[in-house]
Amino acid sequence: MYKMMTPGPTMVAENVRSARSIETGNPDLDLDFYDFYKETCELYSGLLDTKNESLILSGEGILGLEAAVASVTEPGDRVLVLDNGVFGKGFADFVSIYGGEPVLYTTDYKKEIEAEPLREYLERDSDFKYATIVHCDTPSGMLNNISVICPLLKEYGILTVVDSVSGMFGNEVKVDEWGIDILCGGSQKTISCPIGLTLVTISEDAKRAMENRKTKIASFYANLLTFQHYYENKWFPYTMPVSDIYGLRQALENIKEDPDILKRHAQIAAKTREALTRAGLKLYAQNGYSNTVTVFTIPGGVKTADILKAMREEHNIMLAGSFDILAGEVIRIGHMGYNCTEENMKETLTALDAVLRKLGVELKSSVEFI
């Protein structure tokens, strides 16, 4: 098994794997499981500093993004899509699928979205039902400052839908304080659970927007309203993946018992960036660095595939390339959740140094985690 130092999925702790192996019953009929599910959702909300209701959905993180858009969008709704990355732009596809009119606010893909130019734009046009923003755009490692952007959007009466699948728990998130209406997360990133679950928090403003629609939500599986009163009625809209949720609960408990998780991510991310730049490698982004993934551009004369292959076959470490406009241009190193340790990063960067030198890359100094 490779050491997966990718920006998700991550490696998984033994106690999470053990939790997933517990014998399960029928979640539709087991009344105790409704309590377990609700308590797990409340634990997740608490870790994100919100009193908003959270839901766990059976499906990879993309399900949460689509469910957010499907549940809020009505035909003809103008939606502001904040676009400074591949995933940021991708929200426009979901908006179009559900009949909305995506309006792209496109900025430099190598820089975080700046508040003042956005404010100037909103002064000219703020007629949007909601806005989408990606907290950490994983293909480039770009981190947007949602602590500033979301309150700004709310000033103009615009609902906020945030993709923090790769951002949360490695970077600070305060849902209520920052005015986030729908926040989307995923199990396989910093939460360090296997792939298969998406998590959403939903504000009262977002619920009202869903409940006051003039048209029905054009989906069942991606309809967040299907969970209404699930606890009181003891009725899930579909059979819940019990083992996955048992593992998620343990992973969330691990986060709860790790008070230095944000500090550790910040320190390891900074040291990783320093190691790469000290060696003469160039980071893709000019600012807005996420604490969960570091992305550097490929040195001249070598290919992404050659680096990735050598890391896997010679050092048993899996890194990631990227896709879309970044395909073949960058390497992504994940340092999130269970992967985010000094031991893992020292091993990874030592191996990367050896691979680059073998491929003929001239480095200013060793790619060394100090």
pLDDT, one tens digit per residue, over 127-143 is 999 999 999 999 999 99
> What distances in angstroms separate CA 111 from CA 137, 142, 172, 315, one per listed residue?
11, 7, 19, 33
- The DSSP secondary structure of 199-217, one letter per residue, reads EEEE-HHHHHHHHT-SS--
**Euclidean distance between CA atoms 110 and 218, whole angstroms:** 35
- Predicted pLDDT of residue 178: 98
Which residue, among 206, 207, 185, has the nearest Cα to 197 in the 3D structure? 185
- Predicted pLDDT of residue 216: 97
Q: What DSSP element (H or E) covers 233? A: helix 230-233
- Predicted pLDDT of residue 85: 97
**Euclidean distance between CA atoms 211 and 273, whole angstroms:** 46
Q: Which amino acid is at 33?
A: F
Residue 235 tokens read as: 């009725």
Q: What DSSP element (H or E) covers 56? A: strand 53-58
φ, ψ (nearest 5 deg) of residue 353: -60, -45
Which residue, among 191, 161, 202, 163, has the nearest Cα to 62 in the 3D structure? 163
- Predicted pLDDT of residue 168: 98
Q: Report the relative pairing of strands 136-137 and 159-163 from DSSP bridges.
A: unpaired
**Euclidean distance between CA atoms 128 and 111, whole angstroms:** 24
Whether 85 and 139 have beta carbons less than 8 Å apart is answered as: yes
**Euclidean distance between CA atoms 236 and 229, whole angstroms:** 9
**Euclidean distance between CA atoms 280 and 226, whole angstroms:** 52
CA–chain centroid gap for 260, Å, is 20
Q: What is the pTM of this model?
A: 0.97
Q: Report the relative pairing of strands 182-186 and 159-163 from DSSP bridges.
A: parallel
Residuewise pLDDT in 10s, the chain (370 residues): 889 999 999 999 999 999 999 999 999 999 999 999 999 999 999 999 999 999 999 999 999 999 999 999 999 999 999 999 999 999 999 999 999 999 999 999 999 999 999 999 999 999 999 999 999 999 999 999 999 999 999 999 999 999 999 999 999 999 999 999 999 999 999 999 999 999 999 999 999 999 999 999 999 999 999 999 999 999 999 999 999 999 999 999 999 999 999 999 999 999 999 999 999 999 999 999 999 999 999 998 899 999 999 999 999 999 999 999 999 999 999 999 999 999 999 999 999 999 999 999 999 999 999 9
- Predicted pLDDT of residue 1: 82
Q: What DSSP element (H or E) covers 310? A: helix 304-315
Q: Report the relative pairing of strands 53-58 and 197-202 from DSSP bridges.
A: antiparallel
**Euclidean distance between CA atoms 201 and 207, whole angstroms:** 10
Residue with tokens 């979205």: 113
**Which neighbouring-strand residues pair with 3?**
317
Which residue, among 204, 86, 192, 71, has the nearest Cα to 139 in the 3D structure? 86
**Within a 13 Å sphere around the CA of 19, how many CA atoms are in the beta-carbon half?**
20
**Euclidean distance between CA atoms 73 and 159, whole angstroms:** 11
- The DSSP secondary structure of 246-269, one letter per residue, reads HHHHHHHHHHHT-TTHHHHHHHHH
**Euclidean distance between CA atoms 279 and 273, whole angstroms:** 10
Cα dihedral value 339, 7, 190, 343, nearest 10:
10
- Predicted pLDDT of residue 35: 98
